[in-house]
Structure 1
Amino acid sequence: MTCHPVEIPGVGRGFVCTSGRRKRCACGRPATLECDWKVPTRKSGTCDAPICAKCTTSPAPEKDLCAKHAEEYERWKEGRK
């Protein structure tokens, strides 16, 4: 854990501590999204793989897919034709 001192005007000094374990996308960039592919065996109900904004596939508003599930989604769409 990393802690940094901070000055709080009118209050004094405090510390901000972070675990330093930011989620990363498979490409190495910081992840700001999680995969929304349905996975019934997971407690959350979705894949939740970390994804960055450049690597996401968004099949619908507010839905993001990791690369693996983006491929699965394309196969699913082809099967419906």
Structure 2
Amino acid sequence: MTCDFVQIPGGGTAIVCSTRRRQRCACGRPATRLCDWKVASKKSGTCDVPLCSQCTTSPARDKDLCATHVAAYADWQAEHGIPQQQLELPA
């Protein structure tokens, strides 16, 4: 069981527990994001690889990509004649 302390507006704190295991990024850090690349074959419709804030690449606001899909995004831009934008790559 994993438990987290959550700040409540107004200054309170709550403890939220679940039976689900905490997801980890491939680097071992706790995952706070999921890859948003569209994958039609998945029920969620997206890749959903767990990512930490240091391993994500963000091509747009509130969009995160795993390393595999950063390359796929660059290929997609090239196929559509879109100039490749500078992506915020993980350090």
TM-score (norm 1): 0.72
User: Does residue 69 in structure 1 map to residue 43 in structure 2?
Assistant: no
Deviation per residue, 1:15-56 (Å, 9 max, x gap): x75547211111111100000000011110001110000010
**Structure 2 residue runs without a partner (length 5+):** 4-15, 82-91
The number of residues matched between the two structures is 69
Residue 33 (structure 2) aligns with? 33
After superposition, the Cα gap between the structure-2 partners of 1:2 and 1:72, relative to the gap in structure 1 and judged at 3 Å, is closer
CA RMSD in angstroms comes to: 2.1
In the aligned structure 2, how far is the partner of 1:52 from the partner of 1:2?
A: 18
How many percent identity over aligned positions?
62
In the aligned structure 2, how far is the partner of 1:56 from the partner of 1:2?
A: 24
Computing the radius of gyration over CA atoms, which structure comes out larger, 1 or 2?
1
After superposition, the Cα gap between the structure-2 partners of 1:47 and 1:18, relative to the gap in structure 1 and judged at 3 Å, is same
Residue 23 (structure 2) aligns with? 23
